């Protein structure tokens, strides 16, 4: 699997961003069925943390130096860990089967780690 495209002109060209965006879309879809009392709690938190993963990858793409790029990708890793916890919590609260989203999050994490290694 190609992790980094040499001719990436936009963050949208990055496989890691594409996978992170798929995760966000999946989170939004899954959280539509969460209980209404979670609207300002878990639903909001998991949506924001998953968006932060993709957003920080996008922001890091535009940074010029490797140190700045890695900083934003590390922030994305932190947001991904937060998302993974919220998925686990959602699963434990019986808000639905989160295995597919957990698998997507794991994939994003693996690709993001590989991407960071190519920058360092």
Provide the whole-model pTM. Answer: 0.92
Report the alpha-carbon distance of residue 50 to residue 79 in Å, rounded. 7
pLDDT digits (tens, 9 = 90+) for 58-84: 999 999 999 999 999 999 999 999 999
How many other C-beta atoms are found inside a 10 Å radius of the C-beta of residue 20? 32
pLDDT band at 5 (very low <50, low <70, confident <90, very high): very low
Residues whose CB falls within 8 Å of the CB of residue 107, separated by 6 or more in sequence, listed in order: 19
Domain at 12-119, CATH homologous superfamily = 23S rRNA-intervening sequence (1.20.1440.60)
């Amino acid at each position: 699997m190609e992790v980094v495209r040499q001719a990436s002109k936009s963050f949208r060209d990055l496989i890691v961003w594409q996978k992170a965006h798929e995760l966000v879309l999946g989170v939004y879809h899954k959280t539509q069925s969460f209980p209404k009392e979670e609207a300002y709690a878990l639903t909001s938190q998991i949506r924001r943390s998953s968006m932060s993963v993709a957003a920080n990858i996008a922001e890091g793409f535009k940074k010029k130096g490797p140190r700045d790029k890695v900083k934003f990708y590390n922030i994305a890793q932190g947001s991904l860990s937060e998302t993974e916890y919220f998925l686990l919590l959602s699963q434990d609260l019986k808000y639905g089967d989160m295995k597919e989203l957990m698998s997507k999050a794991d994939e994003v994490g693996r690709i993001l780690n590989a991407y960071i290694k190519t920058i360092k």
